[in-house]
């Protein structure tokens, strides 16, 4: 692929036509069944999750879900989860642990929603709890950043045994706009921020934060969704099989060490 | 001209005192409480645990003062002090800024960890410091706190973490974000070991610290009126395009919504922590 700047990739990662979690889920897995609700307050549509199989292996699948059109985006809150979304994700992950299913998560969010209700219902607590619980879940977890992975809202479903990114995805502490407004006191310097904050897949691979980069066709994932889905599927299958060979103790120790050295 | 001179001489007693106060403030002996606007003699404030004697406002504390208030005298031994700031993004001007700050504040990073006695009860403590880049969490803070938690596991001690933070440290980018996962993983291990973790939230505790170890205590205490939240008030106001109500995200608000166990005044903090530690002794898991 032609040399893209970090800002080019930010644009690609945010493109409305870029495939979203459900696009991949439907192409990668057989018989996906979506499950709803956190059993506590609501069903947050900015996170989808359910059960499926991949090559006859039962798995639990979770993804942050943006919309492609304005109406769907309103419904999905532009992929910005409330605490209920994270709690639904955790409920499904605990269920996966009970039935010994590997977990696959798809990350694609501008961040956890910074609204009043989210604060009232404990956005910080919800994210923190996911980090703590995911660290010890006794099943393999593979986390794939497919678009925009921004802040704690992304990390809340991204603690696992393999952390990978699509070639044009970004993963960062905050959006380039937020970063610029904090560090340069000027949100219009987002482009400059994007170059300096090291948020591309290539940057994160060299920082050893991620394990692998999944290839996209020239022009971005939307140019050939089937090919990208196939690339992801191959990665998942190979790595589930590797991770399933480990004892629970080995699995958890390696996961701990993975984050311990960061 | 003559009238002017007379005016100068006849300055009222009140005005003269005011000038004196102003002069003393200049040399740093006085502070103004930003809650009740009372001018307070600094020494008096410090004797009162940095709580305004007039209105009870809890001033922000340096890690040094906090440790002095909580640890039994002479019992604090620092750990993890060798862990220093890193610059994983090669961020322009960052390390230089840190060097200047270290020189100015005489502190090394935004958290100080150690082992001490609290009313005779041995514990690991980690105390964050808002004077150092707003108590933001980068790799050094995350690493020091993780070492503190692992020390608690290794020595089978309870751990107390005093939180104050503006969130994750931007200058270290994604590496700061990963500290949230690292510290939370360590807390998960501590839980499996059946060891006690008391989290104390102080003003302000926000962002990535709220969304990791700060919210994971077995018991979560807070100082009165501390601001506690994930998103900062300014960000929320920009999102919802309206002003937040008074007291939103205050410790009292969090207590009401079920996210903290107890609000504790500074004068009672040490005895409360010691009591909680004592109440956790003798459980089945306690084998040390």
3-state secondary structure B27-92: CCCEEECCCCCCEEEHHHHHHCCCECCCCCCECCCCHHHHHHHHCCCCCCEEECCCCCCCCCCCCC
**What pLDDT digit, counting tens, does each position of B74-113 carry?**
999 999 999 999 999 999 999 999 999 999 999 999 999 9
Beta-bridge partner residues of B116: B123
Q: Is the pLDDT of residue B6 over 80?
A: no
Name residues whose C-beta falls within 8 Å of residue B238's C-beta, 6 or more positions apart in sequence: none
Evaluate whether B69 touches B49 at the Cβ level (below 8 Å): yes
ipTM value of the model?
Answer: 0.97
Distance of CA A88 to the CA centre of its chain: 15
Give me chain A's average pLDDT, please. Answer: 96
Taking CA atoms, what residue in A is nearest to B184?
Answer: A132
Q: To which residue do tokens 């006191």 refer?
A: A185
Is B170's CB within 8 Å of A179's CB?
A: yes
The pLDDT score that the predictor gives to residue B48 is: 96
Q: Is the pLDDT of residue B175 over 90?
A: yes
Q: Is the pLDDT of residue B225 over 90?
A: yes
Taking the Cβ of residue A198 and every Cβ of chain B, the question of whether any pair is shorter than 8 Å is answered with yes
Confidence band for B1, pLDDT divided at 50, 70 and 90: very low
Taking the Cβ of residue B260 and every Cβ of chain A, the question of whether any pair is shorter than 8 Å is answered with no
Q: Is the pLDDT of residue B124 over 70?
A: yes
Residues A228, A51, B182, A238, CA torsion sign = negative
Q: Is B221 helix (H, G, I), strand (E, B) or coil?
A: strand
Evaluate whether B278 touches B117 at the Cβ level (below 8 Å): no
B87: phi then psi, degrees, rounded to nearest 5: -130, 70
The pLDDT score that the predictor gives to residue B22 is: 65
**What pLDDT digit, counting tens, does each position of A180-197 carry?**
988 898 888 999 999 999
Is A129's CB within 8 Å of B212's CB?
A: no
> Would strands B111-118 and A141-150 be described as parallel, antiparallel, or unpaired?
unpaired
Evaluate whether B124 touches B151 at the Cβ level (below 8 Å): yes
Q: Is A206 helix (H, G, I), strand (E, B) or coil?
A: helix
d(CA A114, CA B211): 13
Q: Is the pLDDT of residue A96 over 60?
A: yes
**What pLDDT digit, counting tens, does each position of A126-151 carry?**
999 999 999 999 999 999 999 999 99
Is B248's CB within 8 Å of A129's CB?
A: no
Is B236's CB within 8 Å of A196's CB?
A: no
Is B181's CB within 8 Å of A135's CB?
A: yes
Quote the minimal CA–CA distance from B238 to chain A in Å: 9
Q: Is the pLDDT of residue A90 over 90?
A: yes
DSSP letter for B245, please: P
Q: How far from each other are the two terminal CA atoms of chain A, in whole angstroms? A: 30
Nearest Cα neighbor of B137 from A155, A82, A58 is A155
Q: Is the pLDDT of residue A95 over 80?
A: yes
Q: Is the pLDDT of residue B283 over 50?
A: yes
The pLDDT score that the predictor gives to residue B103 is: 95
Mutation for A interface: B211, B247, B259, most A CBs within 10 A: B211
Taking CA atoms, what residue in B is nearest to A207?
Answer: B88
Evaluate whether B259 touches B220 at the Cβ level (below 8 Å): yes
Q: Is the pLDDT of residue B288 over 50?
A: no
d(CA B201, CA B250): 11
Taking the Cβ of residue A152 and every Cβ of chain B, the question of whether any pair is shorter than 8 Å is answered with yes
B273: phi then psi, degrees, rounded to nearest 5: -60, -45
Nearest Cα neighbor of A78 from A107, A47, A46, A105 is A46
**What pLDDT digit, counting tens, does each position of B143-155 carry?**
999 999 999 999 9
Beta-bridge partner residues of B123: B116
Q: Show the domains of chain B with their CATH numbers.
A: 60-281 (3.90.226.10)
d(CA A211, CA B57): 48
Nearest to B230 among A119, A129, A196 (CB): A119
Exposed/middle/buried for A39, CB within 10 Å: 0-12, 13-18, 19+?
A: exposed
d(CA B39, CA B25): 9
The pLDDT score that the predictor gives to residue B5 is: 46
Confidence band for A118, pLDDT divided at 50, 70 and 90: very high
The pLDDT score that the predictor gives to residue B86 is: 97
Q: Is the pLDDT of residue B120 over 70?
A: yes
Claim: this prediction has a pTM higher than 0.90: yes
């Amino acid at each position: 692929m032609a040399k893209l700047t970090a800002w080019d990739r930010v644009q690609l990662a945010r493109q409305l036509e870029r495939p979203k979690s459900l696009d991949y889920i439907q192409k990668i897995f057989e018989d996906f069944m979506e499950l709803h609700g956190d059993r506590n307050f609501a069903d947050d549509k900015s996170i989808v999750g359910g059960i499926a199989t991949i090559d006859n292996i039962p798995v639990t699948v979770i993804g942050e879900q943006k919309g492609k059109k304005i109406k769907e985006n309103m419904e999905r809150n532009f992929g910005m989860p409330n605490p209920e979304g994270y709690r639904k994700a955790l409920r499904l992950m605990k269920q996966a642990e009970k039935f010994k299913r590997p977990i696959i998560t798809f990350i694609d969010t501008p961040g956890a929603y910074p609204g009043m209700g989210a604060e009232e219902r404990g956005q910080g607590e919800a994210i923190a709890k996911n980090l703590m619980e995911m660290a010890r879940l006794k099943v393999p977890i593979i986390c794939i950043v497919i678009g925009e992975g921004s802040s704690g809202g992304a990390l809340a479903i991204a603690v696992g045994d393999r952390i990978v990114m699509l070639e044009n995805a970004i993963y960062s502490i905050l959006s380039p706009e937020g970063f610029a407004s904090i560090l340069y006191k000027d949100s219009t310097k987002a482009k400059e921020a994007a170059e300096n904050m090291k948020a591309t897949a290539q940057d994160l691979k060299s920082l050893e934060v991620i394990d692998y980069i999944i290839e996209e066709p020239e022009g971005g994932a939307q140019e050939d969704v089937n090919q990208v889905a196939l690339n992801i599927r191959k990665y998942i299958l190979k790595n589930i099989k590797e991770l399933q060979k480990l004892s629970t103790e080995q699995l958890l120790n390696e996961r701990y060490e993975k984050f311990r050295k960061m | 001209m003559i009238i002017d001179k007379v005016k100068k001489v006849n300055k009222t007693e009140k005005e003269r005192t005011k000038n004196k106060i102003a002069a003393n403030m200049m040399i740093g002996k006085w502070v103004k409480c930003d809650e009740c606007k009372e001018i307070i003699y600094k020494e008096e404030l410090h004797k009162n645990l940095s709580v305004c004697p007039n209105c009870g406002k809890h001033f922000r504390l340096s890690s040094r003062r906090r440790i002095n208030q909580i640890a039994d005298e002479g019992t604090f031994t620092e750990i993890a002090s060798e862990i220093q700031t890193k610059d994983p993004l090669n961020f322009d001007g960052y390390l230089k800024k840190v060097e200047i700050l270290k020189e100015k504040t005489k502190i090394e990073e935004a958290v100080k960890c150690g082992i001490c006695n609290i009313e005779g009860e041995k514990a690991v403590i980690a105390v964050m410091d808002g004077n150092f880049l707003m108590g933001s969490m980068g790799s050094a803070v995350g690493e020091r706190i993780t070492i503190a938690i692992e020390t608690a596991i290794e020595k089978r001690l309870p751990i107390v973490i005093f939180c104050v933070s503006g969130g994750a440290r931007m200058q270290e980018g994604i590496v700061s974000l990963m500290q949230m996962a690292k510290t939370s993983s360590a807390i998960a291990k501590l839980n499996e070991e059946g060891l006690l973790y008391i989290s104390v939230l102080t003003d302000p505790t926000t962002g990535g610290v709220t969304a990791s170890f700060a919210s994971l205590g077995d018991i979560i205490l807070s100082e009165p009126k501390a601001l506690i939240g994930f998103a900062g008030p300014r960000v929320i106001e920009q999102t919802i395009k309206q002003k937040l109500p008074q007291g939103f995200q205050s410790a009292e608000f969090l207590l009401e919504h079920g996210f903290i166990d107890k609000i504790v005044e500074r004068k009672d903090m040490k005895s409360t922590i010691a009591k909680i530690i004592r109440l956790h002794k003798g459980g089945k898991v306690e084998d040390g």
